[in-house]
């Protein structure tokens, strides 16, 4: 895969990385929420949508949209994080350091709408 090329102009879609945090309410109940990561949360990426998949069961519809996201290399990325693209929430399910050259990282992300 020596021909992997990302032009600077390809990195034009802003995204924000968020990580899970545990918050405790006044009644001592804990819940998980997300907050922007501490270091460089908003970056520019190359965003390529995949074709979506849709499932229908008992009149409930659930659609899954996947995408490949390329960002400049960073070593702190985790699959527990999520991405905000505009107001859309995307879950990171795969992280690949492209060619182990410490230049780019490819993320596979998905967004699920509806429920089954």
Report whether 72 contacts 57 (CB < 8 A): no
Residue 87 is classified by DSSP as T
Q: If we measure between CA atoms, which residue out of 51, 109, 115, 53 comes closest to residue 83?
A: 109
Q: Which of 90, 81, 71 is nearest to 14 (CA)?
A: 71
Residue 21, C-beta contacts closer than 8 angstroms, at least 6 positions apart: 32, 33, 34, 35
In a domain, 14, yes or no: no
Domain count, the chain: 1
Classify residue 103: in a domain, yes or no: yes
Residue 64 inside a domain? The answer is yes
The overall pTM is greater than 0.85 = no
Mean pLDDT by 10 residues, the chain (116 residues): 72 96 86 93 95 60 88 95 96 90 92 71
pLDDT for 35: 95
Give residue 97's domain range: 43-114
Within a domain: 13: no
E strands, 1-116, in order = 13-24, 30-36, 42-49, 53-57, 60-72, 82-85, 88-97, 104-114
């Amino acid at each position: 895969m020596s021909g992997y090329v990302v032009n600077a102009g390809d990195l034009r879609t802003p995204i924000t990385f968020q990580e899970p945090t545990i918050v405790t309410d006044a009644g001592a109940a804990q819940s998980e929420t997300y907050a922007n990561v501490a270091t460089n949360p908003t970056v520019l990426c190359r965003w390529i949508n995949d074709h979506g998949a849709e499932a229908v069961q008992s009149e409930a519809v659930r659609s899954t949209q996947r995408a490949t996201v390329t960002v400049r290399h960073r070593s702190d990325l985790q699959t527990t994080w999520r991405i905000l693209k505009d107001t859309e929430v995307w879950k990171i399910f795969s992280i690949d350091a492209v060619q182990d050259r410490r230049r780019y990282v490819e993320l596979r992300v998905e967004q699920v709408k509806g429920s089954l």
